[in-house]
Structure 1
Amino acid sequence: MAKKTSDGWVCTECGWTTAKWVGRCGECQTWGSVVEKGAPKLTDVPSHVPTARAVRIGDVSEQAADRHLTGIGELDRVLGGGLVPGVVVLLAGEPGVGKSTLLLDVAAKWAQAGRRTLYVTGEESAAQVRLRAGRTGALADELYLAAETDLGTVLGHIEQTNPSLMVLDSVQTIGTTATDGSPGGVSQVREVTGALVRVAKQRGMAVVIVGHVTKDGSIAGPRTMEHLVDVVLAFEGDRHSGFRMVRATKNRYGPADEVGCFEMTDAGIIEVPDPSGLFTSDNADPQPGTCVTVTMEGRRPLLSEVQALVAPSATEKYPRRTTHGVENGRVAMILAVLERKAGLPLSSRDVYVSTVGGAKVTDPSADLAIAVAVASGSIDRNFPTRVVALGEVGLAGDLRRVPGLERRVGEAARLGFDLAVVPRNSREAHSKAPTMHGLHVVEVSTVAEALGVLNLARRRRPTASEEDRQRA
């Protein structure tokens, strides 16, 4: 183990400092990122005459920050209305999710509007990018292409072409001799990102940087890279499904809770302005073991269908609990609530819960839909009408309020649903009508009450005295 020195130690990921070496950063919790560094020296910094005088904030012109549309509506939605001159965007996602295809389409549409664009690729050759552009129709006269891995050469291309938009694919492949380490290392990524941010602000050029992700899904590289850029976007999607989603996790020029929906096809990535139908089945009538809920992805309500299958277990001691698209822990909790509070015999039966279309449902408001689907599959009975169920289930079997109920119910009504089962007191005090957006709304307090409304409550076996009275 390293000995304590007077130089001090610093984390290369977040800049956290400590007096002695530790294996794990105390700030960002990264292992092996603490290295020895000389202690900073206090020196007198001479003042310089500023190149431009400070002005009142009200006197600054807003025209210099006018947004320009990318030509892709779903991406513009996430960005807050387009790209601002000088903005630096970091787009990260897993390999093969379609980052390069999406940004090549963005670069082509930007160039087709008569604005010069530079696309720098460090992972592919220029010929490979040209083949993909021909396949997806991403060709334009003002789109320039360069295959480079040196930061100095990339800056030279910017000087020569003078673009209004530059796409860099990806930051982990670009290196510079001014910093130690190999391309993709912590110091190299920090230096490359810092240089591009400075150039973007000086020239008023929008820059989109592609970043890799680690095994746990976080953005690879130092955490300071996310602080340097203006916008951080996460490109998500299941490789076995064509659905893709762009989610904003940081946005200095717009909302940071928006999502954009896309679909991967043979011809490239296309927008999906109305994605609700992707996560529900085509059955006109509800089937036993199914229930639809409305989740919130950012500000966008999305319908998701939950399916459940309850079957006798081959080993009653160890029944199977298999889930796909929903959290296994929440399903286990809901099954326990159904057994204790609704009287459903599930402890000795196999339960399989899945979503339709590869959707990943993490919104707690989907708890009631999972419970309804399991109850329907347990007694093999469907509903009399098209129903959406909303509500977070508590351990006492109670239902908790759902945020954004107005938008959720409105989306369900738009797609032709007839009934919404929601927690009690979820609506505003001034909106207690039996319908919302033309959809009948039933408020319930517990899971057992919700199952009773939907005629899914388990019928209690009559006692001997009750049977005698019935015969009499």
Structure 2
Amino acid sequence: MAKKARSIHTCSECGYSSPKWLGRCPDCGSWGTLVESAAAPKAGAAANAAVSGQVPAGLTPTAPATPITRVDAVASTSVPSGIGELDRVLGDGVVPGSVVLMAGEPGVGKSTLLLEVASRWASQPDAEGADTRKALYVTAEESAGQVRVRAERTGALKDTLYLAAESNLDIVFGHVEQLKPSLLIVDSVQTMHASGVEGVAGGVAQSRAVTAALTTLAKTSGIPVLLVGHVTKDGNVAGPRVLEHLVDVVLNFEGDRQSSLRMLRGIKNRFGATDEVGCFEQTGEGIREVPDPSGLFLSHRGMTPDGSAVTVAMDGVRPILAEVQSLTVDPVAKNPRRVVTGLDSNRVPMILAVLQARAGERSNEKDAYVATVGGVRITETATDLAVALATWSSLHEQPLPPKTVVIGEVGLAGELRRVPNLERRLTEAARLGYERAIVPDGGETTVKGMHVTQVSTLRDAIAAVTPGGGSGGDPRRNTRNRRNIDTTRTTATAG
């Protein structure tokens, strides 16, 4: 009787391997994710010789090693994709022979964006300039008719954009050999199937084999390959971690279903930085790139309302102007409510407590609703001062000075702390027409066309935005004046 081949169980979420089946993965804690597959083959003769302490006998290389000074660097020069925001995240464009994995939640617009990339790519001339470049879009999730309808709606119909509805990897390689495209897009890697490999499509073995084969194709032919990847419920790339190690670039396309804003972030990039962010907008005509996201968040602003403050947040290395709004009302219940949207829900109540304890405001006795405008989400501490001054403005029904941005971190003692990239933030605000900035004290900050007021405490910041106040005034006197004004208003209302 033939001996049964030894098998191994691998987690489809993290790639953990076990000789026996387990209900829960010990590494990532996921339930029911261990899939049985064939064990890895035994090591070759060279590896066995190295383990035993002998010098392994190598094979004759097909090509000799080349001095690094003689390696052609032109072959790795990036090529513009036709979409500036994507090129920003990738570095300078698409590198020939690279493999890019784009992940994101279902319905966020990954397929629409890559179809637009294929259309822009097919609209540009090739290296010789004699003809337009060919792009091959392989869809294994939709039919060719569905992709055609979407391409017609988004204006992505091009004669040099080829479409193949295939899930067999061998047939895809046949299309590549026949068409010889300069760009290959596979949607998605979890739905492709490699013949000769055990397991179902999307499993650990299949996903690893498909990604490895497409990576080999890209490196040997020089064709850049863009892959669509699924994500888990935690937002991570689905499949074993080896997928992220095999590819050159891992991108995450994210966005809220309730908002049209989409962000493309780099998680891994062998050709550039991972702190660049691309901004897009989901429209009825497809995905539209937004080169100036600050204008998207501030385009509606006319006169400055009370309860509103403008700050500058950093998303990676990109400064983005955002508006923070605060509404304070008398509490309905015994415990005041705190409703936060787009900001850190744990930090906003702390800022309101500091505003009451260190600046003498009654912020903690009111129901507070604090939110950002335009669907942007900000988690950094540079928006603390904007939250505090927007709440102060709502409490006193007093708008902040027009064309003013406020930046700074608020400490528990009421002190203001400097934040990174302050000069770059202020330069972006000055570019968009803002003339005054209130920032923490701590060094000389000079920006052309902007008056910068430096303050050291939250009381000083409130004095700087109070009519008739300033950084040189007495914060305690200004606070007493505001209290007298509030008392007069209360008395007049009661009478």
User: What is the TM-score when the length of structure 2 is the normalising length?
Assistant: 0.84
| Aligned twin of 2:253 | 235
My pick for the range that moved more, 177-186 or 203-212, is 177-186
| Aligned twin of 1:440 | 451
C-alpha change, 1:341 and 1:267, in structure 2 (3 Å) is same
| Aligned twin of 2:271 | 253
Report the alpha carbon displacement of residue 239 of structure 1 after superposing the two structures with TM: 2.2
Equivalent residue runs for 1:181-220 within 5 Å: 181-220=199-238
| Aligned twin of 2:172 | 154
What's the Cα RMSD here?
2.6
C-alpha change, 1:216 and 1:13, in structure 2 (3 Å) is closer
Q: Which amino acid aligns with 1:189?
A: S
Q: Which amino acid aligns with 2:407?
A: L
Gaps of 5+ in 2: 1-5, 47-56, 125-131, 468-477, 485-495
2:415 matches 1:398: yes
Report the alpha carbon displacement of residue 310 of structure 1 after superposing the two structures with TM: 0.4
- Structure 2 residue aligned with 1:377, among 394, 399, 402? 394
Q: Residue 388 of structure 1 contacts residue 419 of structure 1 at CA under 8 Å; is this kept in 2?
A: yes
My pick for the range that moved more, 170-179 or 452-461, is 452-461
Classify the secondary structure of the residue corresponding to 2:159. Answer: coil
2:101 matches 1:101: no
Classify the secondary structure of the residue corresponding to 1:357. Answer: coil
Q: Residue 15 of structure 2 contacts residue 239 of structure 2 at CA under 8 Å; is this kept in 1?
A: no
Report the alpha carbon displacement of residue 312 of structure 1 after superposing the two structures with TM: 0.4
Q: Deviation per CA, 1:412-450, whole angstroms, max 9, x where unpaired?
A: 11111121111211x4xxxx36x5121111112222221
C-alpha change, 1:12 and 1:99, in structure 2 (3 Å) is closer
| Aligned twin of 1:81 | 92
C-alpha change, 1:272 and 1:62, in structure 2 (3 Å) is same
- Structure 1 residue aligned with 2:383, among 359, 362, 366? 366
Q: Deviation per CA, 1:173-211, whole angstroms, max 9, x where unpaired?
A: 112343333222222222211111111111111000011
C-alpha change, 1:40 and 1:15, in structure 2 (3 Å) is farther
Q: Which amino acid aligns with 2:457?
A: T
C-alpha change, 1:111 and 1:283, in structure 2 (3 Å) is closer
Classify the secondary structure of the residue corresponding to 2:79. Answer: coil
- Structure 1 residue aligned with 2:136, among 97, 108, 118? 118
Report the alpha carbon displacement of residue 289 of structure 1 after superposing the two structures with TM: 0.5
Q: Which amino acid aligns with 1:44?
A: A
Q: Deviation per CA, 1:83-111, whole angstroms, max 9, x where unpaired?
A: 11110001111222211111111111211
| Aligned twin of 2:45 | 44
- Structure 1 residue aligned with 2:341, among 324, 337, 361? 324
Classify the secondary structure of the residue corresponding to 1:131. Answer: helix
Classify the secondary structure of the residue corresponding to 1:50. Answer: coil
2:356 matches 1:339: yes
Q: Which amino acid aligns with 2:271?
A: Y
My pick for the range that moved more, 289-298 or 13-22, is 13-22
2:320 matches 1:283: no
Q: Residue 344 of structure 1 contacts residue 458 of structure 1 at CA under 8 Å; is this kept in 2?
A: no
Q: Residue 265 of structure 2 contacts residue 277 of structure 2 at CA under 8 Å; is this kept in 1?
A: yes
Q: Deviation per CA, 1:254-288, whole angstroms, max 9, x where unpaired?
A: 12111112222222222211121111263333211
My pick for the range that moved more, 171-180 or 322-331, is 171-180
Equivalent residue runs for 1:172-183 within 5 Å: 172-183=190-201
User: What is the TM-score when the length of structure 1 is the normalising length?
Assistant: 0.88
2:240 matches 1:222: yes
CA distance in 1, matches of 2:358, 2:289: 44
Q: Residue 279 of structure 1 contacts residue 355 of structure 1 at CA under 8 Å; is this kept in 2?
A: no
| Aligned twin of 1:142 | 160
Q: How many residues align?
A: 450
